[in-house]
Amino acid sequence: MPEPDAAQGRHGSAPRRLKPAPLLFEPAAAASDEAHFFDLESIEDPRELLSRSTELVLAFRAATDRAMEFQAMAAAQLADPRRFDRLTPAVIAERAEWTEDYAKKMVEFGRELMRSGELPD
């Protein structure tokens, strides 16, 4: 799992404002077929395939960045010492399937996001 500061975007060194392709939901039958992936296998023109697959990569990266920010904020909120039911980094790590060191970094990253006002949209 990448470190929180390794992600690109609003909190990385090189902000990007690319408009990712919409992630369209696949029918359940297609999703169960491992060879099927967002209908890419049906695209015969390599130019079109490169374009659409690149759009998907950018969309998944944007979704990953945004989800990571929400994870960090949740971790920071759960670790808030003002909460009577606060969790330790070890418990947060167990719930999120992280290492304890990574959980500590995510808690700090979440605190930074909340302090700076850079909350996910």
The predicted-structure confidence for 38-83, as pLDDT tens digits, reads as follows 888 889 999 999 999 999 999 999 999 999 999 999 999 999 999 9
Structure-token match 């909340």, residue found = 114
15 membership: H or E segment, kind and range:
none
Q: What is the mean pLDDT of residues 108-116?
A: 94
Would the pTM of this model clear 0.75, i.e. be above it? no
Q: Whole-angstrom Cα distance, residue 11 to residue 64?
A: 13
pLDDT of residue 87: 97
pLDDT of residue 84: 94
